[in-house]
Amino acid sequence: MSDEVTNHLGGFRVENGTRSMTESVLSRVHHGIFMMAAARLQREVKMVASEAFVTGIEGDDFKNEVEVLTTLLDTYSIDSGSVLVSVFSDVTALTRSAKDLRQLVTGLDSIRVLCRVEAGRLGANSVSLMPVIDQLDKFHIEIDATLERIMHLSERVKTLVEASMPRVFNGSLRYHHS
């Protein structure tokens, strides 16, 4: 069981264990937010450029500029959405790992209870086991609370990421060019 726990803890690391999931997600969220801001600026520039072209302030040669701005806007929107989709997927996997770990910890908890029962049966001969059992009690409470917090925060991050997705991404989290 401890090997399974160790394997599941690997789910909290990415890039071959060189970075924590938190570092990776935070980095990508920052990138996604930057790209969303760039897309918003690009949209405003495109609107001003399109208006200048339509009103005749700019000549026909400016049409290429508007097309370039449109391409950049689409690229930035796709990039920001893709980054946020990857964050959503990783956070979903993190939630699943936390749930799996919680089940494994519950299994380990039954061993702790059996150990306490055995210590009670042994009476005075089990005095040296009591500090270990007490540590296991504290560990179980602490790990359970931590996993609960991870699951709660993961759900919150997923909700925020989904709300931040560019409108061109639908509920299936796939890009639909408009």
**pLDDT score for 152:** 92
Q: What is the pLDDT of residues 122-144, one digit of tens each?
A: 887 778 878 888 888 888 888 88
Give the pLDDT of residue 176.
Answer: 42
With a cut of 50, say whether residue 178 has pLDDT above it: no
Residue 117, domain extent: 2-164
- Whether 57 maps to a domain, the answer reads yes
User: What average pLDDT does the segment 160-171 reach?
Assistant: 67
- The average pLDDT across 64-69 equals 81
**Cα gap 133→131, rounded to integer Å:** 5
Q: Is residue 170 part of a domain?
A: no
Average pLDDT rounded to a whole number, residues 34-56: 83
pTM attached to this predicted model:
0.66
Q: How many domains does the chain have?
A: 1
In a domain, 68, yes or no: yes
Instruction: Confirm whether 149 is domain-assigned.
Output: yes
Over range 92-105, report the average pLDDT: 84
- 8 Å CB contact between 91 and 11: no
Q: Does residue 169 lie in a domain region?
A: no
Q: What is the pLDDT of residue 14?
A: 67
- Does residue 46 contact residue 69 with C-beta atoms inside 8 Å? yes
Task: Report yes or no on 171 lying in a domain.
Answer: no
Mean pLDDT computed over 96-108? 83
- Indicate whether 157 belongs to any domain: yes
The reply to whether 76 falls in a domain is: yes
pLDDT of res. 172: 45
| HEC secondary structure over the chain | CHHHHHHHHHHHEECCCCEEHHHHHHHHHHHHHHHHHHHHHHHHHHHHHHHHHHCCCCCHHHHHHHHHHHHHHHHHHHHHHHHHHHHHHHHHHHHHHHHHHHHHHHHHHHHHHHHHHHHHHHHHHHHHHHHHHHHHHHHHHHHHHHHHHHHHHHHHHHHHHHHHCCCCECCCCCECCC
